[in-house]
Amino acid sequence: MHIGTKVVVGKGLPADDRTRALVPPIYLAAVYTFETAQDGADLFLGKKEGYVYTRLQNPTLKFLEEKIAFLEGGEAAATFGSGMAAISTTILALCNSGDNIIVSEPIYGGTFALLGNLLPRWGIEVRWAKAKDFPNDIKNKNLIDEHTKLFLTETPANPTIDIVDLEATAKFAHEHGIPVAVDTTFATFYVQRPIELGVDIVIYSATKYIGGHSDAVGGMVVSSKKLMEQIKDKTCVDLGGIMAPQTAYLFLRGIQTLVVRMDRQQENALEVARYLETKNEVSVVYYPWLESHPQYELAKKQMKGGSGMLAFILKDGKEAGKRFLDALNLCQVAVSLGAVNTLIEHPASMTHSTYSEEDLAKAGIDSGLIRMSIGIENIDDIFADLENGFKAI
């Protein structure tokens, strides 16, 4: 089956064996009863399969976990209350106090805050290497030691659209026995295939392309069964950051249209990127499938499309950017991404306001950078709205 079919039917239909329901039901039950006391004890010991309590497992969450593991090509998956819960749980599952992790920069502002504010309090050190020069920058800076427990990457990177070479990173990390995690929120299993490139852990903010409609917050992780035991059974269950079954249902529904949505979003995004390049007011456009992207060759090799995310810089800087954003009507000034609506934002004052000015400069995030998440609207209407922005500056 092609991926466009797999998203619709999963491993096969009907979705629910018991009732032959076409779509998976939402199991709201927090609690499941035991037939006998011994039955309960066996379930807790893992001698028997079944349900106990939704924080441990829930049938609707399991539907989603099985589906995303299948689509991603991984052995096992876990669902979380948000993308941040997925990221923090993964790190805490693999690191102890005294360990360090190597992270690609730039990275999403929320992740940056977790890494900078909380991890040091828990004794976990963060070492930075350039996303666009991963893994060479790790070698050059000699960052690995015996306490390095994880490489955490994000590609395309939020918000600069830098690309991490996943295959080279996985190869290098494995030579040192270190697992690699990638936040693939901007690309999804449709646009890039991290596990096939050797990556060990795939992380999502499902809030974005998986849901696709800006109406659900969640996170997911896909990995081997062995790593998942550590991430889910030994960490997520105790930290408690699980997804609600109602939310899992929205993601199961969202996944079914992901391929059609992303086809349109990528098509629109490439057109918008090309259009922005023709504008005198724009100094630079970052889009992975634009020939001018510094990592175009790698992006073409690693990604099956450019995704719907792009960024650009206006020649006249921040103030011009404000006028541009305020003049838009169709494109909504908002954070988040991956939705059917086109969203536009200013990372330095919004999604990446957790970075100081120095941090922004070090991570290569221009203070005037504007980030766009292109939706599925008719392209002519998007162009007409962007023209409003250009007139205003």
Ligand X SMILES: Cc1ncc(COP(=O)(O)O)c(C=O)c1O
List contacts with ligand X (CB under 6 A): 82-84, 108, 110-111, 154, 158, 183, 185, 205, 207, 217, 219, 336
Q: In what order do the strands lie in the sheet with 332-333?
A: 282-286, 309-314, 369-373, 343-345, 332-333
Choice between 205 and 214, CB closer to ligand X: 205
Choice between 144 and 199, CB closer to ligand X: 199
- Strands 125-130 vs 180-183: parallel, antiparallel or unpaired: unpaired
Is 183 known to be catalytic?
Answer: yes
Choice between 15 and 232, CB closer to ligand X: 232
Pairwise CA distance, residues 92 & 109, whole Å:
19
Given 108, 204, 209, 355, the catalytic residue: 108
CB–CB of 204/83 below 8 Å?
yes
Given 99, 162, 165, 183, the catalytic residue: 183
Choice between 15 and 108, CB closer to ligand X: 108
Given 208, 232, 264, 371, the catalytic residue: 208
Query: Would you put residue 214 in left (φ > 0), alpha (ψ -120 to 50) or beta?
Result: left
Shortest reach from residue 98's CB to ligand X, in Å: 26
Is 209 known to be catalytic?
Answer: no
Nearest by Cα to 216 from 180, 244, 240, 182: 244
Give residue number: closest CB to ligand X: 83
CB–CB of 320/74 below 8 Å?
no
Shortest reach from residue 323's CB to ligand X, in Å: 25
Is 263 known to be catalytic?
Answer: no
Is 193 known to be catalytic?
Answer: no
Nearest by Cα to 377 from 261, 287, 206, 288: 261
* End-to-end Cα distance, the chain: 49
Shortest reach from residue 185's CB to ligand X, in Å: 4
Shortest reach from residue 352's CB to ligand X, in Å: 10
Shortest reach from residue 340's CB to ligand X, in Å: 17
Please give the full DSSP string across 364-393, using - where no structure is assigned: T--TTEEEEE--SS-HHHHHHHHHHHHHH-
Choice between 85 and 102, CB closer to ligand X: 85
- Active centre residues (catalytic): 55, 108, 183, 208
